[in-house]
Chain A
């Protein structure tokens, strides 16, 4: 099966809201609707992480959404591309340094494309997704786990343990 071929032609996106104001989320929906029509690139919005290639994240990552975001990220098959949509997903935006916020997606998972704007315009979201497609091409053969999540040789880890370890490392980094 030439899975790579299909992946190139029809990358599916997964969208997760980690505490944004819904503004970017409805713009993503508007992208999928007839006027902007993201689907002409073969993109479908499916709520299933196990079939998705591109993760669209909106919002500044709240404390409760942190673990879910990591879990979704791990459940997606390699290669995967993360797009941070909106000002608050890029840096925290207006929510930066609020007490329940982690200041942007890149403090939790590696981000490949940043889409600015509050709220991000559909045109720029489309641009970001098209850029993500290029990166997806490049990433095909590499497997990119964040360095602290690499499994040491000889050790066996299941997903739950991996998630716990990553959370531990992230929290330790936060405290210091």
Chain B
């Protein structure tokens, strides 16, 4: 029984890209208690969405909830408003949405994998992952016109069309990207030192995942078969070859491998979208005023994203509620830390790929 020591982790920390604060109570190296503070980036977007912005503008505001999964946020909101107003979106627009949302998933997953490598002290792999991630960013820039905040999806369709030259360019780059990602997956799977560092650390079991309602790659790494892409019809994922990927270990190693395999699957889906891209319109006008309430679930790169909107026949919505994936994963993180060695904490936090600007909104 050692002396109790309080170790603050955050809000500004070397291993953290974002402000979150954990206060650990440790006995020797073992953590006995933890407090979480996630409110550093609370801006009040939900309030602003229901007071200051018109319903056609909200899509661009919610994109600023999070830059990493900007496309998922807009997609969630736009799907909700389209369901509320019964807009029939053209098939071509739906396919283009799949394309961009999967490319976004690739870049987000590569970022998360790179970060875990950095926290494990593997600077080389971090740099290599980021170099490969740049080729995804180039693709996204070609398609949408911006590197991070795409503003690609809008109510009724998408904002930019795809040309044949662009398609050729994308195919060429995608081929290179696939080779790189296969190599990355191989490293993450077989590297000796990474195996030693990650196997058996931060284990979330299947029962725990069910009990704590874990979402996203951490849940799938624990063997829980949950993926909103299979459970909610918001985009034609099944037509383009979506596969549900699960593993059984539930530790950091498996979380990274789930991400790596999803990246490969996403590349495949992007290819299939390009092969079967239907002709036609990319946008239909949206008229009228939203009335009633609806909710949608969307699979963001970090897991299930939930939107609830309510309109009362006004230009401004009555309520916009956003439940983001990291918000759902904070309880399991908190539970996981108790009994863990302090030295494993940064790796575990990063392996959940927390997105605090999502969480606090």
Measured CB to CB, the residues of A under 8 A from B are 16-27, 29-30, 33-35, 46-49, 59-60, 62, 64-65, 68, 72, 88, 93-95, 97-101, 118-119, 121-122
CB B294 to nearest CB in A, in angstroms, measures: 25
Q: Which residues of A contact B5 (CB under 8 A)?
A: none
CB A116 to nearest CB in B, in angstroms, measures: 13
Nearest neighbor of A88 in chain B, beta-carbon distance: B64
A121 and B147 within 8 A (CB)? yes
Interface size on B, residues (CB 8 A): 42
CB B137 to nearest CB in A, in angstroms, measures: 7
B67 and A22 within 8 A (CB)? yes
B17 and A25 within 8 A (CB)? yes
Q: Mark B123-149, 1 if CB is under 8 A from A, else 0.
A: 000010011011001000000001111
B47 within 8 A of A: yes
B42 and A64 within 8 A (CB)? yes
B111 within 8 A of A: yes
Known contacts A22-B67, A26-B148, A30-B134; is-contact A46 B14 (Cβ 8 Å): yes
Among A16, A35, A62, point to the contact of B43 (Cβ < 8 A): A62
CB B48 to nearest CB in A, in angstroms, measures: 5
Q: A88 to B41, alpha carbons, bound, how many Å?
A: 13
Known contacts A94-B64, A98-B48, A119-B148; is-contact A26 B111 (Cβ 8 Å): yes
Known contacts A60-B43, A65-B41; is-contact A21 B67 (Cβ 8 Å): yes
Sample (13) of A-B pairs whose CB atoms are under 8 Å apart: A16-B12, A19-B360, A20-B41, A21-B357, A22-B67, A22-B357, A27-B148, A65-B40, A65-B41, A95-B64, A98-B47, A100-B43, A118-B64
Q: A111 to B108, alpha carbons, bound, how many Å?
A: 31
A65 and B70 within 8 A (CB)? no
State the 6 A-B residue pairs at the shortest beta-carbon distance, nearest first.
A23-B67, A47-B14, A33-B130, A119-B148, A23-B148, A19-B41
